[in-house]
């Protein structure tokens, strides 16, 4: 008994030490990934603001395009910071949802309108399959927007080559289903569950084509569950990804 107790205690200590090491590694790479992600838009904003500040650009179209870049990059900064804030609130268990009546159809159209330029700039065609005129639900507008934005962001980042982004709203088992589909590379089957774990990235190498900290899907799923729904991945029939967001239905109009 004594030997077994010693062995068990020893393994527990080793396991604890291993977990601490993994935690420390994750924290370090989280800080460096997030700093890197914040630095890129900041550098771009500074560069274009300096160019405009020097007043050497006379071409009005060029000035406009520089301003648009500054606006786009500052919006990207806002998205990143919102994700980090949500992440820390969820981690500390102090994320609060403020629910009110939301028209899901209007929310989807507003989000898609605001992202249309980014989607098209990435060379993708946006297809909306939203037939309902209005769908009233009891939910947290900001959280829903953050989930949808993270999914659209990912489609732009990873699936632009597929050239198509479909956003569909339908009903399933008395609940609302929002599907965000693309025709990009999809997710290899070995990663399909893990992509929802914090920090997990399919390509986690330093040379990955796209920047990221592996937080978007983990936050999106936690927010979806916090709202009483779910977020899951389904492989698309013709290849690519399909993310399914289930939202509890209250009433529809």
Kindly list the residues in this chain that would bind ligand ADP in the complex (CB under 6 A): 150, 154-155, 157-159, 182, 184-185, 187, 195, 200-203, 212-218, 241
Q: Which is nearer to ligand ADP, 99 or 198 (CB)?
A: 198
Q: Which is nearer to ligand ADP, 139 or 150 (CB)?
A: 150
Q: Which is nearer to ligand ADP, 95 or 201 (CB)?
A: 201
- Per DSSP, the three-state class of 177 is strand
Q: Tell the residue number behind the tokens 């967001």, with chain if given.
A: 245
Q: How far is the CB of 119 from ligand ADP (least distance, A)?
A: 13
Q: How far is the CB of 62 from ligand ADP (least distance, A)?
A: 32
* Strand ranges inside 20-130, DSSP E: 100-103, 125-130
Q: What is the biggest distance separating any 2 CA atoms in the chain, rounded to whole angstroms?
A: 84
Q: How far is the CB of 83 from ligand ADP (least distance, A)?
A: 8
Question: Which of 101, 221, 102, 96 lies closest to 150, judged by CA?
Answer: 221
Q: How far is the CB of 128 from ligand ADP (least distance, A)?
A: 17
Burial label for 41, CB within 10 Å (0-12, 13-18, 19+), is buried
Residue 198: φ, ψ to 5°: -65, 145
What is the rounded CA–CA span in Å between residue 206 and residue 181?
27
Q: How far is the CB of 183 from ligand ADP (least distance, A)?
A: 10
Q: Which is nearer to ligand ADP, 184 or 229 (CB)?
A: 184
Q: Which is nearer to ligand ADP, 16 or 78 (CB)?
A: 78
Write down how long the chain is. 253
């Amino acid at each position: 008994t004594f030997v077994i107790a010693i062995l068990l205690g020893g393994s527990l200590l080793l396991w604890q030490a291993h977990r601490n090491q993994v935690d420390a590694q994750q924290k370090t790479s989280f800080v460096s990934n997030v700093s890197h992600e914040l630095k890129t838009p900041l550098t771009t904003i500074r560069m274009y603001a300096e160019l405009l500040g020097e007043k050497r650009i006379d071409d009005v179209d060029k000035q406009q395009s520089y301003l648009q870049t500054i606006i786009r990059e500052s919006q990207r900064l806002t998205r990143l910071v919102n994700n980090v804030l949500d992440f820390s609130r969820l981690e500390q268990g102090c994320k609060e949802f403020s629910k009110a009546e939301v028209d899901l159809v209007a929310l989807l159209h507003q989000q898609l309108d605001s992202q249309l330029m980014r989607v098209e700039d990435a060379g993708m065609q946006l297809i909306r399959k939203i037939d309902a005129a209005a769908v009233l639900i009891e939910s947290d507008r900001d959280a829903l927007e953050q989930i949808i934005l993270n999914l659209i962001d990912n489609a732009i980042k990873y699936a632009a080559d597929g050239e198509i982004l479909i956003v569909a709203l339908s009903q399933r088992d008395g609940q609302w289903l929002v599907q965000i589909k693309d025709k990009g590379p999809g997710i290899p089957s070995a990663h399909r569950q893990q992509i929802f774990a914090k920090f997990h990235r399919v390509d986690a190498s330093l040379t990955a084509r796209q920047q990221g900290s592996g937080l978007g899907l983990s936050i999106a799923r936690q927010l979806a569950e916090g709202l009483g729904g779910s977020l899951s991945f389904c492989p698309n029939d013709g290849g690519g990804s399909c993310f399914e967001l289930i939202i509890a239905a209250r009433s529809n109009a």
